[in-house]
Structure 1
């Protein structure tokens, strides 16, 4: 007979918000125990560049994930969770 341990369950981060400060996008999740990252899509100011996508690092709930973005029109800011 083998004794085993069940893996601990992680709750997906909750109460997530996004924001922009200058040329940095950020996400912050206040609850849960999983991880999250900010993801941003920008239409670059230079039309020949087109769309630019960037993500911040995966961080624990309660921590801010930040990502730089170039000048242009923000198309979307999302929070990826796991």
Structure 2
């Protein structure tokens, strides 16, 4: 009977520990939110006001020289609350977006 109780207690402890680990991980990696994108001259920036993950600015441009084609540029990955900035290559902007993780 003692063996059965120990096995039941061990199973319950394992389940509770697993639930706490999974629940804690989900809250710790919340994607950034309330993000805005802006441009100024030859630079684009993204700023996310809340969340606990990271974000970066990402730019796609059709280069001014047709033989070059599409050019992609990204800023650094930064925490929510910080600003990610990247240079906009010469040409026609196809998209400016915020990547999140």
Q: TM-score band, normalised by the shorter chain?
A: 0.7 to 0.9
Q: Compare CA radii of gyration and give the structure with the larger one.
A: 2
Higher RCO, 1 vs 2 (CA within 8 Å, ≥6 residues apart): 1
1:49 and 2:77 aligned: no
Q: CA deviation at 1:27?
A: 0.5
1:24 and 2:38 aligned: no
1:58 and 2:77 aligned: yes
Number of residues of Structure 1 aligned to a counterpart in Structure 2: 80
Distance in 2, matches of 1:73 and 1:42, equals: 5
RMSD value over aligned CA atoms? 1.6
Any unmatched runs of 5+ in structure 1? none
More helix by share: 2
Structure 1 residue runs of 4 or more that deviate by more than 4 Å after TM superposition: none
Distance in 2, matches of 1:19 and 1:51, equals: 21
Secondary structure at the counterpart of residue 86 of structure 2:
strand
TM-score with structure 2 setting the length:
0.72
Q: CA deviation at 1:75?
A: 0.3
Distance in 2, matches of 1:74 and 1:19, equals: 13
Distance in 1, matches of 2:66 and 2:40, equals: 23
More strand by share: 1
Secondary structure at the counterpart of residue 48 of structure 1:
coil
